[in-house]
Every structure is written in C-alpha cells, then in structure tokens.
Amino acid sequence: MSISRARSSERAGCRAIVWCVVLFTSLSVSASIVLWETKLDATGDSIGAKRAVTQGVIVALAVIGLACAWATRAGDPGVVTPSAEDDDAARVVERLDETIAREVEKETNAVNAVESYTERLRACIRRAVSEDAEASALGMDKEFDGTWTKLGAGEGARRVKFCGTCKVWRPPASTHCSSCDVCVRRFDHHCGVLGNCIGEYNHRWFVGLLASSAAMGALIFVVSAYTLAKISKNEWRSSAYPYMLLACTCAGLHVLGLIAFAWMHVGLFVFDVTTKHVVTRPRGTSILDVRREYSSNASCYGRCCAVPFRLKSAAMREFRSRRPRASEAC
C-alpha cells in the first residue's frame, strides 16, 4: 500500500471513529433533554425558564464547537510558503551539495586518505562553505543528520534550519509535517481526526473546540444527573431510566477525557509552548525551561486576535505555485 493510500485510510478511520462518538453522544444528549423536559412537565416543576436557558447554552456551545472545528480543519495552520530568499537558498544548497559530493569522492579515492569519513566530510563542508560567498555570508553549516543551517537573527539566536523537502528556511519552532508534506509554523501536532496540522495560525481554534466541547459535556452531565435524581425509586424500572443512565455515563466519560485534554492545551497555549516541545524536551526539563527556550514572546491576546486567518487551500495553492513538485498529501 502506498504512503498516500495509507494516510487516507488512517484519516478515514479516525474520522469514522469520531463521528460515531459524536453521533452516540448526541443521541444520548437528545434523549436526556427530551426526557428531562417530559419529566419536569409531568411533575409540574416550575423551572421552564431555566430549562430553556440550559438547552440554549448547550446548543450554543455545540455551534461554537462546530465553528471552531471547521476553522481548525479548513484554516491555514501556518504553512511556511517559499520566498525569494528561500529560492536563493535552495540554489546555494544544491550547489554546496554538488561541491561536497565531488570533494568527498576525491578525498576518498586519495591514496593518502588516513582520516575517517566523518572527518573528511566535515573538512569538505567547511571548505565548500568558505569558498562560496553566499553560504559564507549566511554562516551556513551542515548538521550530522544532513540538515543545512544558518545563523539566526540577533545575538544568541538559535540556528535556522533549511528544509530539504520544502526548500525553505524554517522559522523558529517550525517543523515539517510528514502527513501534509509541508513545514508548519510553531507546529504542535498533526490531528488525524480533523485531518489538519495544529500550528501557529489555528491553535486558537483547536483550543476553542476543546474548551467548548468540555463545557458542553460538563453541562450535559449535570442535566443527565439531575434527571436521574428526579426519577423516584418506583420509576427506576421504567423505560426512561436506561436512557438517563446511558446519557449520564456517556457524558461523564466525555467530560473526563475532554476536560483533561482541554486543560492541557489551554495550559500549553497560555505558556506559549507546543505539544512537540513538551514531548521532546530533555529529561529533567520543566515546562518553564521549555517556555524560556521556545516562547515567541507574544501575548495571549496577540496569539488569539492578531493572527491572520485564511483557508488552508489558499496557502497550499501559494505553496505549490512556488514548489510545483511538492506532495499534495493534504
């Protein structure tokens, strides 16, 4: 099976699972609200206004969650589009790689070659960079994994990496997504359920989706638990009780998982770090250490309201116009 077909199958499976969960929970919620309303009407409970407000809040949270899900799925996560500087860098990298390959082969075939391959390679890299005016001006170097880097802007800045697949200089905290085959600014993770990367431009929508879903689940759990409490012991064997118990159980599990996940991402967003930074941090390193190293120094307001929004399709069209041979995985 090809990689593209495997990715398509994985996404289809994830989406099928999430839609089953959404449908199952929605049916339970509907049963909870309808039966709760019926029960209150039968007992003459005088909280019709509260009931209407509660149902309205649940519907509003559901609409907000769906809107955030659409914005997360269809919005640009922060695709790094090539610039003229990247085009120049791609030519420099190609020229350096060709020069280094010739020099390494020449050194390897030399009769008096006594150095190790790594030492010969490092010597060829340094010589090729020093002899190339553009590469020398950028302070370029090649890491052991084959990634080209250049000096970052400002004193003490981290070195900027060059993506050999997208042929762009990756901004700080950016990562190449193997699923979408593009580099994403402040890459958090690739969400297989939504079929999009979570990055700098759509992380706010992802957090909104989790927060609204968690709040809706908590409210549904309260509604279901209240309905169960209103059912008298003599009515526990009635047809309504199994639906109430099912709704309460589903809502409880829904709440536990979503609140934990939402709380984690809200914390990451507030501290201005990503899931990738937390997962890959060295042992013994705290979240504050990660924040000091990778924080963009932008406020929560700036990351929520000052981030541009555009469709991912527009970003991908711009990317492919500059890199026509790039994969069309997403």
CA distances from 196 to 62, 75, 164, 214, 224 (A): 21, 9, 22, 21, 34
Query: What is the tens place of the pLDDT at every residue in 232-275?
Result: 656 556 666 676 677 677 767 777 888 888 888 888 888 888 88
CA distances from 75 to 10, 199, 303 (A): 21, 10, 15
Query: What is the tens place of the pLDDT at every residue in 170-218?
Result: 988 889 998 888 999 999 999 888 889 999 999 999 999 999 888 888 8
Q: What is the residue range of 145's domain?
A: 84-170
The amino acid at 87: D
pLDDT band, residue 47 (cuts 50/70/90): very low
| pLDDT for the residue numbered 172 | 84
Contact criterion met (CB below 8 Å) for 184 and 80: yes
Let me know whether 89 and 206 are in one domain: no
Contact criterion met (CB below 8 Å) for 288 and 306: no
Q: For all residues of the chain together, what is the average pLDDT?
A: 77
Let me know whether 222 and 206 are in one domain: yes
The amino acid at 2: S
Determine, yes or no, domain membership for 192.
no
Q: Beta strands of the chain (E only): which ranges?
A: 141-142, 148-150, 160-163, 168-169, 175-177, 182-184, 189-191, 196-198
Let me know whether 48 and 119 are in one domain: no
Let me know whether 314 and 204 are in one domain: yes
Determine, yes or no, domain membership for 183.
no
Let me know whether 59 and 206 are in one domain: yes
